[in-house]
Amino acid sequence: MNRLLSRLGAVVMAIGLVVLVVSQVQSAVIPPNPMMTGGQAGELGMYHGMISINPANEIVVHLGPGMSPAGNTPELPLKFTPDTHPDYTDESGTGGPDWTVLNGRHFNAQLGWIAENAGTWTVPSGSAVWIEPISVTGPGTLEVLEGGQGATSPLLPMDQHTLDPIFVGGQPWKWFDRDIADSLNPPFIASGSGIMTHNWYVTDTPGLYEVQYRIYVGDATTGVLDPTYTPAQVNVAWVPEPASTAIVLLGTLALVCRRGRNGQL
């Protein structure tokens, strides 16, 4: 009996600490717009896949922290923002995004794709650089919604996230289109139509998600691989935000209590 009471006392103390953690997370001030990457103080920090093509026609991708104007450095693995945000609004009437697709959902927008060594590489006319999710694992469905392309992008400024679904059915997504880049006045250099693109990763089921990407050169219309370029592969992971982790722990502790009452400890 003493042993059981001791275990129950430890469980109650642990539950109290977890409840405190959940309370602190949920009582945080909800920002007027969803927490994004690193342009403002308090944001999460940018994390970039920096893409280039070397003289041997090999795609090279470096994963690492991006430049954040507010000096924010991302904490790894990347973490979903909690689903305790019911009041994001539709700003499409004033030229902004419709944020309501994120209401009550877990999301993260830290991962961006950006050209490295811009101006030193390109692809042939009629070709594009594509990003393809070749493996996605996790406890639920991970949706990817289109974000903005940076404050100076003439195609999709950072404040005009479309939040349109991409990677539908695992299809590749066109990140840089040579002909679109050349058609602009003045033309974009290597970063082209893919200047610092920060998409939104959204799920209704928190947990560990891992995505393996293939970055390759292919036909700008069909996405068919150009074998004269060697693709690159990178892996990115997201984990539950603290509130979800605490709730999962609460369920585990409740199970321990129940087993203790049944004399199974």
pLDDT tens-place string over residues 177-208? 888 888 877 666 654 455 678 889 999 999 99
Torsional sign, CA 247, 101, 145, 39: negative
Residue pair 89/100 in contact (Cβ under 8 Å)? The answer is yes
Q: Which range among 15-19, 50-54, 186-190, 257-261 shows the weakest confidence by mean pLDDT?
A: 15-19
Whether 173 shows a pLDDT value over 60: the answer reads yes
How much is the average pLDDT of 168-185? 84
> Which of the listed ranges 63-77, 149-163, 212-226 does the model predict with the highest average pLDDT?
212-226
In this predicted model, which residue has the larger pLDDT, 104 or 31? 104
The per-residue pLDDT for 230 is 98
Percent of the chain beyond pLDDT 90? 35
* Token pair in block for residue 37: 């990457």
CB of 214 closer than 8 Å to CB of 134: yes
Residue 24 confidence (pLDDT) above 60: no
Which residue did the predictor score with more confidence, 27 or 120? 120
Alpha-carbon span 157 to 21, nearest angstrom? 37
Per-residue confidence band for 243, with pLDDT thresholds at 50, 70 and 90:
very low
Span between the terminal Cα atoms of the chain, in Å: 11
pLDDT at 246 over 60: no
Q: pLDDT tens-digit profile of 79-128?
A: 998 888 888 888 888 877 888 999 999 999 889 898 888 778 889 999 99
Query: For all residues of the chain together, what is the average pLDDT?
Result: 76
The confidence score (pLDDT) of residue 209 equals 96
What percent of the chain stands above pLDDT 70?
66
Helix (H) or strand (E) segment spanning residue 143: strand 143-148
Give Cα separations from 16 to 7, 102, 254 (angstroms). Answer: 14, 30, 12
Residue 176 has pLDDT above 80, yes or no: yes
In the predicted structure, residue 34 carries a pLDDT above the cut 70: yes
Residue 20: pLDDT over 60: no
pLDDT at position 53 is 94
